[in-house]
Amino acid sequence: MRLLRGALTLPLGVDINSERVCVVAADAHGDGFVVSETRSAEMPPANDGSLDLKIAEAIRNILASLKTRERRAILAAPPSEVVTRTFRVPPGMRRSEADRAAALEADTIVDWPTSERLVALDRIPGRSDEMLLSIARCSVVERVIAIARAGGLKPVAVDVPACAWRRAIPDADAILDYSRERAELVIFGDVAGVTHFFPPRLVEERLASQVRGAFVDARREGRADVQRLAILSSKFRYESIEELLRDDGYVVAPVTLGGLDAPDWTFAYGLASWSIAPRGLART
């Protein structure tokens, strides 16, 4: 891909999980966003004691293969350990007061110990009376940051997973990530969205049924009225699930980026765009 003259190098988008590591390098110029390099590495099976070391090693190998010398990185907290809500800001409330109120509201949302919570408030573009409240487990965020640093990265932010997915797939109402052993459905709500996880190795008929149920619940609860679903999966998996859902009236389409079908770095692409539309859990 051609780089724009005067382009500014953005922090790398780095997707870290137990199945693979993906890195996207990108540059920005004005409103432009250009992907310059992508890398992915499958992770071999490993026990809990060696997994983090193997992930860090995979990151080092990827960095060594990149042309860019950029080492700043945008990471993501594990989606199962993040909760988001819309936080209403009364007129005249100071930021320090909002932070204290958000910490108190977190008590009503999660039952994690106070010492185990990372609570963040981020501005929502175009809204002066609302902010995005994000709550994550400190230990899992610290683990992701430690792995990244061990791999040679310089983390600058930890993003909300649903926000990264939404930036990567802006034209869909929901994304079904069926590229891994455990399928994950993210329904984009008014701000961030809600994530559903499904048991590993579900048969397609059962998965389609649970996806339909999640859409019905989202509509009933006023979160979202899903019409367009993007699916990230192999061609075989896509055709199987698409056939089951298309008769329900949903517009189902495969994820396509840069002319590529279902690139495994789609989520890392969303992370790489964080600097264009920042909504993060933590800045390190």
CA dihedral sign of residues 233, 240, 188, 29: positive
- Which two tokens mark 205? 């008929």
**Burial of residue 13, with CB atoms counted within 10 A of its CB: 0-12 exposed, 13-18 middle, 19 or more buried:** buried
Residue 44, helix vs strand vs coil: coil
Residue 280, pLDDT above cutoff 50:
no
Residue 266, pLDDT above cutoff 90:
yes
Residue 159, pLDDT above cutoff 90:
yes
Residue 63, pLDDT above cutoff 50:
yes
Q: Residue 115 and residue 117: Cα distance in Å, rounded? A: 6
| Count helices and strands in the chain by DSSP H and E runs | 7, 17
Residue-range domains of the chain with CATH: 8-78+140-164+266-282 (3.30.420.40), 81-138 (3.30.1490.300), 171-254 (3.30.420.40)
Q: What is the DSSP letter of 67?
A: S
Question: 229 with 174: CB under 8 angstroms?
Answer: yes
Residue closest to 110 by CA, chosen among 85, 135, 131, 143:
135
Q: Residue 60 and residue 282: Cα distance in Å, rounded? A: 23
Rounded to an integer, the average pLDDT of 248-260 is 92
Residue 183, helix vs strand vs coil: coil
Residue 168, pLDDT above cutoff 90:
yes
> Quick one: pLDDT at residue 239?
92
> Quick one: pLDDT at residue 257?
92
Question: 176 with 226: CB under 8 angstroms?
Answer: no
Q: Residue 97 and residue 84: Cα distance in Å, rounded? A: 19
Confidence of residue 267 (pLDDT cuts 50, 70, 90): very high
Percent of the chain with pLDDT over 70: 93
Q: Residue 102 and residue 115: Cα distance in Å, rounded? A: 15
- Which two tokens mark 273? 């765009």
Question: 269 with 35: CB under 8 angstroms?
Answer: yes
Tell me the pairing of strands 20-29 and 32-42: antiparallel
Residue 6, pLDDT above cutoff 60:
no
CA dihedral sign of residues 90, 92, 94, 100: negative
Residue 34, helix vs strand vs coil: strand
Residue 4, pLDDT above cutoff 60:
no
Residue 279, pLDDT above cutoff 50:
no
Q: Residue 178 and residue 160: Cα distance in Å, rounded? A: 20
Question: In this structure, which amino acid lies at residue 115?
Answer: S
> Quick one: pLDDT at residue 67?
96
pLDDT in tens, 97-122: 999 999 999 999 999 999 999 999 98
Rounded to an integer, the average pLDDT of 213-230 is 94
Question: Is 280 or 239 the better-scoring residue by pLDDT?
Answer: 239
> Quick one: pLDDT at residue 5?
43
Lowest mean pLDDT among 26-35, 53-62, 84-93, 206-215: 26-35
> Quick one: pLDDT at residue 96?
93
Lowest mean pLDDT among 87-96, 197-206, 213-222: 197-206
> Quick one: pLDDT at residue 7?
57
Q: Residue 257 and residue 265: Cα distance in Å, rounded? A: 9
> Quick one: pLDDT at residue 184?
95
Q: What's the mean per-residue pLDDT of the chain?
A: 89
